[in-house]
Structure 1
Amino acid sequence: MESIHNGVLMLPRSYFEKEELLARVIECFPYPIEVYAPDGTTVLVNRAMLNEYNVSDPDEIVGKYNLFKDPSIIASGQMNAVKKAFQGETIFFPDVKVPLEEIAER
């Protein structure tokens, strides 16, 4: 979808640019956010998430942590609910904290 603004042809942003913009918005959000790939692997965390769990480098989590393999999630008995959320169902988990410091040890 093209538009003309002040005589200049404006093209929609590419997928990459939209993705980059979304990543910047997430990074600036004041609440902890963690984004997962469909296989449960973390693909993005914001600074608030890192601060929440005293993790300094996102590389300690991104690409390494997998929600579906987390022993705490498995032991909690919530895996079915997590899988429903990944299938698009709205699920609420009140006050759940993942011990991210243990992830670095795995």
Structure 2
Amino acid sequence: MSADLDQPLKIVVSSEGDTVVVSLTGELDPHTVPMLADELDDAIDGGATSVALDLSGLTFIDSSGLRVVIATHRRLEESGGRLVLRAPSDTVRRLLELTGLLGHIDIV
């Protein structure tokens, strides 16, 4: 079931030790990417060096969503940090594979 039109993306931020976990439910597209980008910027600006994106509830991602994932990965990597993608659906995993990101970003 997709997220409703008023809330196409739900973001929940939590911590697991020194890792900031950002859980996504719904769709990541040009309308919702700014919400995620703001959350990730806040986490990194707040000192996070380890970020996990929990994609288990993500039903859709397009190129704008991939761009924010890549930008976050690069930003963390440049500062000695790490981005991990958790539980991507088969569709999301396939998109990561097609774009060549599968070998560059850690997936668990």
Same fold (TM over 0.5): no
Structure 1 or 2: more strand by fraction: 2
TM-score (norm 2): 0.26
TM-score (norm 1): 0.26
Give the greater-gyration-radius structure (CA).
Answer: 1
